[in-house]
Amino acid sequence: MNETEALNKGNLVWEARISPNDAVEERAEKLDPPYEIDTGRPGDIQPDDLAKGAPMGSLETPPTNEKISYVANVPMTTDKSPEKLAEKYGTQGFKGGHEEAKRRFSLVVGINAYERLDEQSTEGVTRAVGNVSWGNDLYPLRVFGFIWQPHWRKKGAAAVKIDEVREKYFNRQADKEAINLWEKQQATQQSVIPYGKIRDRIQNSRYSKDFVDDLKSHSDNVYIHVGDADVVSLNAPPEGVPQIIDVDGPVLALFSRYDAILEETKTAGEYATIASGGYDFRLANQGGDVPDKNALTALASRLDLAIRTAMASVEPSSVYFPEPNTIIKVQDDANSIRASFGTTSQESQAVVRNVLDSRGGIRNVPMVFDIRAVVATGSERFLLGDGTDVETEFARGNFENLTEQHIRQLFNVTQSHASSDTWDKQIQFAYPNVDMNQLAELRRTLFPNERFEYDPARLRAQLPGFTPSFDNDDAEMTMAESLGPDSIGLAIIEIAKATANEIRDFLLLILDDAE
């Protein structure tokens, strides 16, 4: 399936988009290189830092210990600005702005690129790191750069070093532009980019560890914030999310919200080990970047967050704690989280599993998912459709023209927990031995979108009297026993009921608005 087909089916596109001009595309199609990138393997990080930025900013020692401090780790490509990201953390991270950030926050940015045949990536990373400027009167910032290298091989055959590809192929061809495009199309595939290794490189860097040590000298708890460079806003949205989080009124700043959530959810005097507020896609008039014509994307985001919240209320580990916004507590005797993000994509899932396994097991590590700490992330890679089939009325909450196709799109979004595929995988993450065939049957029994499909007229007729349940207790127990041993089946059923209730309420809301 190509990108256009995927978009028309309502899927979100995760892979990097490449938009070369037609002439270059045509030339690239005519190439027949004897070498290729192994797209079945993620690349490897080069062992040495390519560029080491100077220490910038300074930490201010408060008169008394801070309860909680944070170190943000963010990977970044050379086309983005570390200063803009740092300013966002400074102004939107804490209620007290930069002054509060100076007492309990630091940021590490790892600028990275794949090693190109023309060797321009090295120059790009070095230049990007060297151009960063950050005031010494602001909170601590450290930017460094490194390169990762795809695995090259003879076409369909043995592995080779990139030097051989340069010498025997690239340097002997005249149309370097076409080759660069051909190379980029392979190197930016999701299966090739070593997402997990990139995050490991940043969180295990000397820069991040030094910041943790510095903050630990006057803070009782230090968390690593796993972030993304394409964050649009760290502030809570102006509407649509509960904001009453302390006695002083609405708190929009991200870490101030995390402070309150961690205080509220303490267990035996201990803060949660892992917490997340997730991410959303917001309309431009709500502080996001979603244009009115793509308002269905923002609507799908609301459904995803509602389902994640419902699932987490029963079993937090059943929710994906996302890369754009998750915090992980550093143990008392460490200066890193001592866990790996894995080697491929879905790196947050890998590090969560690693933390759970190393700190007492999936049912013994306190986790919190609370959308009051939600951030807005960039929607460009996630838009539903090309905008031509999504009418602007949705941006005003008017769903008069909501069709079966629109409703299907809300449930057919990659990484959304409204997607049956994602929901199944998350249940399997929390309960690895679940019977997947029975899980599908459970969805067909309880989920209104699967029982009544997606026709607006049928949903309006069926939903008002629908309660997600079984015909009787015997039927529920039979289903529970088929899902898994002991109490696992009953727990999964509770997650399914909570999910189904959210789906019902969401559909009722938008369908009522459409009348």
CATH number, domain 60-109+193-381: 3.90.550
Q: How many degrees, rounded to 5, is the angle at CA 168 between CA 166 and CA 170?
A: 45
* CB distance 389 to 297 below 8 Å: no
Residue 146, H or E segment: strand 141-149
Res. 281: pLDDT tops 50: yes
3-state secondary structure of 375: strand
Instruction: Quote the pLDDT of residue 385.
Output: 52
- In whole angstroms, give the CA distance from residue 51 to residue 500: 50
Instruction: Give the residues across from 153 on adjacent strands.
Output: 36, 159
Instruction: Quote the pLDDT of residue 393.
Output: 57
> Residues 120-149: what's their mean pLDDT?
95
Question: Which comes out higher in pLDDT, residue 11 or 236?
Answer: 236
Instruction: Quote the pLDDT of residue 250.
Output: 59
Res. 21: pLDDT tops 60: no
Mean pLDDT comparison of 9-23, 290-304, 317-331, highest-scoring range: 317-331
Contacts of residue 70, Cβ cutoff 8 Å, sequence gap at least 6: 93, 104, 105, 106, 215, 222, 223, 224, 225, 255, 258, 327
- In whole angstroms, give the CA distance from residue 262 to residue 270: 9
Res. 10: pLDDT tops 60: no
Residue 429, H or E segment: helix 420-430
Q: Which of 123-127, 161-165, 393-397, 472-476 has the lowest mean pLDDT?
A: 393-397
Res. 286: pLDDT tops 50: yes
Res. 358: pLDDT tops 50: yes
Q: Beta strands 219-227 and 66-76: pairing type?
A: parallel
pLDDT bracket for residue 307 (50, 70, 90): very high
The identity of residue 458, as a single letter, is R
Backbone angle region of 126, left / alpha / beta, with phi > 0 → left and psi within -120 to 50 → alpha: alpha
* CB distance 196 to 352 below 8 Å: no
Instruction: Quote the pLDDT of residue 25.
Output: 58
- In whole angstroms, give the CA distance from residue 127 to residue 131: 6
- In whole angstroms, give the CA distance from residue 424 to residue 470: 20
Smallest CA-to-CA distance from 369 within 417, 327, 415, 332 is with: 327
pLDDT tens-place string over residues 93-106: 999 999 999 999 99
| Assessment of whether the complete model's pTM goes beyond 0.85 | yes
318-to-247, 291, 349, 417, 432 alpha-carbon distances in Å: 32, 31, 11, 10, 11
> Residues 159-177: what's their mean pLDDT?
94
Instruction: Quote the pLDDT of residue 488.
Output: 95
Instruction: Quote the pLDDT of residue 239.
Output: 62
> Residues 273-291: what's their mean pLDDT?
90
Which two three-digit tokens encode residue 411? Answer: 């449930």
- In whole angstroms, give the CA distance from residue 289 to residue 375: 12
Res. 447: pLDDT tops 90: yes
Q: Where are the domains of the chain?
A: 60-109+193-381, 398-514
Which two three-digit tokens encode residue 18? Answer: 């490449």
* CB distance 236 to 93 below 8 Å: no
Instruction: Quote the pLDDT of residue 395.
Output: 58
Instruction: Quote the pLDDT of residue 19.
Output: 31
Res. 390: pLDDT tops 90: no
Per-residue burial over 305-321, b = 16 or more CB atoms within 10 Å of its CB, e = otherwise: bbbbbbbbebbbbbbbb
